Structure 1
Amino acid sequence: MNREASAASKHAWHPDLARIETPAVVIDTTVMTSNIRAMAQVASRSGVALRPHAKTHKMPDIAKQQLEAGAAGITVAKVSEAEVMADGGIDDMFIAYPLIAPSKIERAIAVGRRMKRLIVGVDSLTGARLLSASAVQHGFELEVRLEIDSGMKRTGILPAEAIMLAREIAQLDGLRLTGIYTFRGALLDGKPTLDIEAAGLQEGSLMVSLAEDLREAGIPIQDVSVGSSPTGAYAATVPGVTEIRPGTYVYQDRMTAGYGICTLDDCAAYVVATVVSSRPDEGHAVIDGGSKTFATDVQPGTFPLQLQGFGHALEAPDAVLERLSEEHGILRLSSSIVKPGDRLRIIPNHICSTINLHNSVYLLGENGISRKIIPARGMLE
């Protein structure tokens, strides 16, 4: 039996799973609580703040559990997520995304007035000037962090250009530049890697070195914010890093297990699906979850994880979820035997994007199972 199958065999089936409508996402709250505590301990041991990314769970109640366990605040990607979290009582947030549209900046200021602390991201002088103009107009000081491209080649200013841009931002009215941040993921020397320790240390070192350069240039950078779920624990050990922002860890998934930061036993979330057909032949079966149920952004067979299929079936560990159409998932079977009517729990490759496909989740705990709406699901603007 392979490593995934061995780990998955420890998950116990709960009888309440037989009565829910499928396909559905189920969260094992005992495992989730353990994950929340474990990451809080990682941050505490390294003496850094933990600001988890809420894009994974999109639920204020779970954000509150992270805060109660020791998180300093939370991270979101969109203003709409910040609004939902503020409605749910969260009052310390970082919108880790460059705000450009004036309407979004005005909404961010409005939500910031309801909070103890709001931080927003910026990666251009154009964006900074728009933030400044709106802040001055509304009589509100915006705390900002400069985003750095540390190798992801997404948003963020290149390190070599950071000092010049930071100087200009620091001179703008209505803004208070307090830190720098990056998202790098599992990259080492610009390439995907399984050596997440080296990747995390390199990420942290690059950002700390840049912060020191900024301070020498007279820009009083306080916060150095880094770290994904794969690399956060290692980046946190670099002296000078002040904050990590992992997200996936709250549930974990097949991808984080592939990086070796957890086992499948630590995966709190899975999709429950029903086998609806034994077609197209005896070596396959069809479940009632397809691309509208499972995220497809982490593709099978790609470097460096080389995952087989779109998820791991706990009840059929040697099966491969090899193909998805909108409403159908095609399982290729080996020795496992499944038949129409069987229910399978499948750990998806990427839980964050999977959660955003669902309006609700089922929380499974000591008192049974309950259905909960995901308030920030679909909040993309």
Structure 2
Amino acid sequence: MLSIPNPFEALNSLETLEILETFESLEALETPCLIIDAQRMDRNIQSMAEMIRKQRVNLRPHAKTHKIPAITLQQIEAGAVGITVAKVSEAEVMAAHGIRDIFIAYPLVTASKIERAIRLSRQIELLVGVDSLAGAQLLEKIAGRHGHTLQVRLEIDTGLRRTGVLYEQASELAAEITRMPHLRLTGIYTFRGSLLAGKPTLDVAAAGKEEGTLMVQLAERLRAQGIAIADVSVGSTPTALYAAAVEGVTEVRPGTYVFHDRMQARLGVCSLEDCAGSVLVTVVSRPSEDLAIVDGGSKTFATDIQPGTDPLQLRGFGHILELADAQLVRLTEEHGMIELGPQAQAANLRIGDKLRIIPNHICSTVNLHNHVMMQRDQAYKRMPVLARGMLE
């Protein structure tokens, strides 16, 4: 049985010792490492909480970005109703550190994961996703075996073509789920990102409005069939504010906003000055005037947001803070190749110099690091990414 400790009691473990390890200067840090500017993060957390509070909907951030329970607790203190995760193992880590309201926004379709979710739901308020009849039937079978009722939300495909029942088939599946005695359908949810009319877009306001409208219309249709839909959960970081403005939306689930990244800046959601996360790297080689090699490669930077792809058309794998016309153009496992323009060449970059790079996608980058360095003023504290690598 899961034991949930008081999150405000110090844990007598190596994790606590790591959190307390402090470095007094940037030069003292080993590279590559991921630095989080705590003051920027604080502002991001408060800003999103205030904006969503004004819309009178619930904020349930996705923990995929930071994977750190202490940050989740900070988000809840700022006004979030709970947290969203993608994996049962992430939910277990969060629950073990005091988070009491968790939504696993992912279909659970194996007996072992469902068994774990049921154990967890006896300890905390737990919601799980479902998007198929086969998945619902397995949830019902195992919950029935335990004499337990699981709270579920039906995932809807609103154009991303990922998980989610097809929009036009949702009514039939919702009706089937309501007939299952050990499942309680509480609502519907979707993840759509910056899509408009089925295509990637930079018009996040229109994308958010369309996302919210589609889901509210579906909820009204289901209610007209006699299906009680309480939750209408939508919204990524770029669309959350605009989707929340649609009357009938009850919850948004942004994640990236806590740190922001180059992708969000390109979408116009934030500025580069709002980005709390950056990777510190060291120049290890200068093969030519127009090329510098750093010690951060594909094991340090996420590569899922490729340069030169629509709609973002980003140049390189990150924004180099110190060098205006330099680009991180290529990555191998342990090497990052930086192409230097005329201004960067004039900066006379030397072997041993350190650079800070805002990654294209912070979420996947965090998952590559066992810990982050939390920076407050000029002090850096090591904080373990406790849910890092929790994939099952």
- The counterpart of 1:282, out of the listed 263, 286, 289, is 289
Distance 1:113 1:75 in 2: 18
Equivalent residue of 1:215, what SS? helix
Give the superposed CA RMSD. 1.0
Tell me how far apart the structure 2 counterparts of residues 91 and 50 of structure 1 sit (CA, whole Å).
15
Match for residue 299 of structure 2 among 292, 295, 316: 292
Is 1:227 aligned to 2:238, yes or no? no
2: CA distance, partners of 1:244 / 1:25: 27
Cα deviation code 1:129-168 (max 9, x no counterpart): 1111111111221100000000000000111101110000
Distance in structure 2 (CA, Å) of the matches to 1:251 and 1:271:
12
State how far apart, in whole Å, the 2-side matches of 1:134 and 1:366 are.
51
After superposition, the C-alpha distances for 1:261-280 in whole angstroms (9 at most, x for unaligned) are 1001000000000011112x
Alignment match of 1:355 (pick from 355, 366, 369): 366
Per the TM alignment, residue 15 of structure 1 is displaced from its structure 2 partner at its CA by 6.9
Which residue, out of 132, 142, 145, partners 2:153?
Answer: 145
The letter for the 2-side match of 1:111 is L
Aligned: 1:376 with 2:376: no
3-state SS, counterpart of residue 172 of structure 2: helix
Query: Partners of 2:25 and 2:180 in 1: how far apart?
Result: 57
Determine whether 1:206 maps to 2:214: yes
Structure 1 pair 367/342, CA: closer, same or farther in 2 (3 Å)? closer
* Counterpart mapping for 1:241-256 below 5 A: 241-256=249-264
Which of 88, 102, 126 lines up with 1:93 in the alignment? 102
Shift of 1:367: 6.9
User: Which runs of at least 4 in structure 1 moved beyond 2 Å after TM superposition?
Assistant: none
Q: What do residues 76-123 of structure 1 show as CA deviations (whole Å, max 9, x unaligned)?
A: 0000000000111101000000000010000111111121x1000000
Question: Which among 152, 160, 165 is matched to residue 157 of structure 1?
Answer: 165
Distance in 1 between residues matched to 2:207 and 2:56, nearest whole Å: 20
Following superposition, the deviation at residue 192 of structure 1 comes to 0.2
Query: Where does residue 85 of structure 2 map in the other structure?
Result: 76
Aligned residues with identical type, % of pairs? 61
**Amino acid aligned to 1:271:** V
Q: Provide Cα deviations, 1:268-298, integer angstroms capped at 9, x if missing partner.
A: 000000011112x210100000000000000
Q: Determine if the alignment matches structure 1 residue 322 to structure 2 residue 329.
A: yes
What is the alpha-carbon distance in structure 2 between the residues aligned to residue 153 and residue 47 of structure 1?
Answer: 30
- CA displacement at 1:18 relative to structure 2: 1.1
Query: 2:16 is matched with which residue?
Result: none
Report the residue type matching 1:233 in the other structure: L
For 1:28 and 1:258, the matched residues in 2 are separated by 20
Mapped partners of 1:357, 1:367: distance in 2: 24
Structure 1: distance between partners of 2:178 and 2:140: 10
Given candidates 178, 181, 185, the residue that maps to 2:189 is 181
Q: How does 1:7-22 map to 2 (within 5 A)?
A: 16-22=25-31
- Give the whole-Å Cα distance in 1 for the aligned partners of 2:169 and 2:154: 11
Q: Size of the alignment, in residue pairs?
A: 366
Instruction: Tell me how far apart the structure 2 counterparts of residues 232 and 361 of structure 1 sit (CA, whole Å).
Output: 26
Which residue matches 1:261?
269
CA–CA distance in 1 between the matches of 2:59 and 2:378? 30
- Where does the alignment leave 5 or more consecutive residues of structure 1 unmatched? 1-13
CA distance in 2, matches of 1:301, 1:107: 41
1:183-224 deviation digits (Å, cap 9, x = unpaired): 000000000000000000000000000000000011000100
Query: 1:30 aligned to 2:39?
Result: yes
State the TM-score, normalized to the length of structure 1. Answer: 0.95
TM norm structure 2:
0.92
CA shift, 1:24, in A, is 0.2
Cα distance in 1 between the residues matched to 2:291 and 2:365 = 23
Amino acid of the structure 1 residue aligned with 2:209: L
Q: Distance in 2 between matches of 1:89 and 1:367?
A: 30
Cα distance in 1 for residues equivalent to 2:324 and 2:92? 40
Q: Which secondary structure does the structure 2 equivalent of 1:148 belong to?
A: strand
Q: CA deviation at 1:366?
A: 3.9
Q: Distance in 2 between matches of 1:317 and 1:343?
A: 15
Cα offsets for 1:47-96 (capped at 9, x unmatched)? 00000000000010000000000000000000000000011110100000
SS at match of 1:278: strand
* SS in structure 2 of the partner of residue 265 of structure 1: helix
Structure 2 gaps, min length 5: 1-22
